[in-house]
Structure 1
Amino acid sequence: MEDWLGRRRGVLTYRLTQVVTGHGCFGHYLHRIGREPSTQCLDCGVEDDTAQHTLEECSRWAVERAALVAATGLVDLSLHSVIGAMLSSERRWDVVASFCEDVMSQKEAAEREREAAADALPLRRRRQGRRRRAFLRHDP
Structure 2
Amino acid sequence: MGSRSLSLAIQKTEIVLLTRKRIDRNIQMLVDGQSIITSDVIKYLGVMLDVKLSFWAHICKAADRAAAVVGRLGRLMANIGGPSPSKRRLLMRTTDAILLYGAEVWADALKFQKYRTRIESVQRRGALRICSGYRTVSAPAVQVVAGVTPIDLLADERRRIHLRKAENAPTVVKKEEREETMRRWQNRWRSESRGRWTARLIHGVKEWTERVHGEVNYYLTQFLTGHGYFWSFLKKIGRTTDSRCLYCQQQRDRITDDEQQDQDGVAEGLEIEEDDVYHTHMCPRWERMRSSLIDEVGELQPETIVNKMMETKENWDAINTYVMAVLKEKERNRDWEGLTS
TM-score by length of 2: 0.32
Q: Given the alignment of the two structures, is residue 39 of structure 1 paired with residue 255 of structure 2, yes or no?
A: no
1:52 to 278, 285, 305: 278
Partner of 1:132: none
Partner of 1:95: 318
Take 1:98 and 1:82, find their aligned partners in 2: how far apart are those partners? 14
Take 1:47 and 1:33, find their aligned partners in 2: how far apart are those partners? 19
Take 1:77 and 1:103, find their aligned partners in 2: how far apart are those partners? 17
Question: CA offsets, 1:1-25, max 9 Å, x none?
Answer: 2111111110101111111111111
SS at match of 1:43: helix
> How well do the aligned residues superpose, as a CA RMSD in angstroms?
1.5
Question: CA offsets, 1:107-133, max 9 Å, x none?
Answer: 00000x33xxxxx56x610xxxxxxxx
SS at match of 1:85: helix
Residue identity matched to 1:70: D
Q: State the 1:54 CA deviation.
A: 1.0
Take 1:31 and 1:58, find their aligned partners in 2: how far apart are those partners? 19
4+ residue runs over 2 A deviation: none
Higher CA-based Rg? 2
Q: Given the alignment of the two structures, is residue 67 of structure 1 paired with residue 289 of structure 2, yes or no?
A: no
Take 1:32 and 1:47, find their aligned partners in 2: how far apart are those partners? 16
Q: State the 1:35 CA deviation.
A: 1.0
Partner of 2:115: none
Take 2:279 and 2:297, find their aligned partners in 1: how far apart are those partners? 19
Partner of 1:20: 224
Q: State the 1:84 CA deviation.
A: 1.0
CA contact (8 A) 2:235 2:243 kept: yes
Take 1:26 and 1:50, find their aligned partners in 2: how far apart are those partners? 5
Partner of 1:133: none
Q: Given the alignment of the two structures, is residue 9 of structure 1 paired with residue 213 of structure 2, yes or no?
A: yes
Residue identity matched to 1:63: R
Take 1:25 and 1:40, find their aligned partners in 2: how far apart are those partners? 12
Question: CA offsets, 1:62-115, max 9 Å, x none?
Answer: 1111111111112x422x21111101111110111000111111000000x33x
Q: Which has the higher contact order (CA 8 A, sep 6+)?
A: 1
Aligned residues: 115
CA contact (8 A) 2:231 2:276 kept: yes
Q: Given the alignment of the two structures, is residue 109 of structure 1 paired with residue 332 of structure 2, yes or no?
A: yes
Take 1:64 and 1:49, find their aligned partners in 2: how far apart are those partners? 18
Take 1:52 and 1:83, find their aligned partners in 2: how far apart are those partners? 14
Question: CA offsets, 1:22-57, max 9 Å, x none?
Answer: 1111011101111111210111132311111111x2
Higher strand share: 2
Structure 1: unaligned runs, 5 residues or longer: 115-119, 126-140
Take 1:72 and 1:54, find their aligned partners in 2: how far apart are those partners? 19
Partner of 1:30: 234
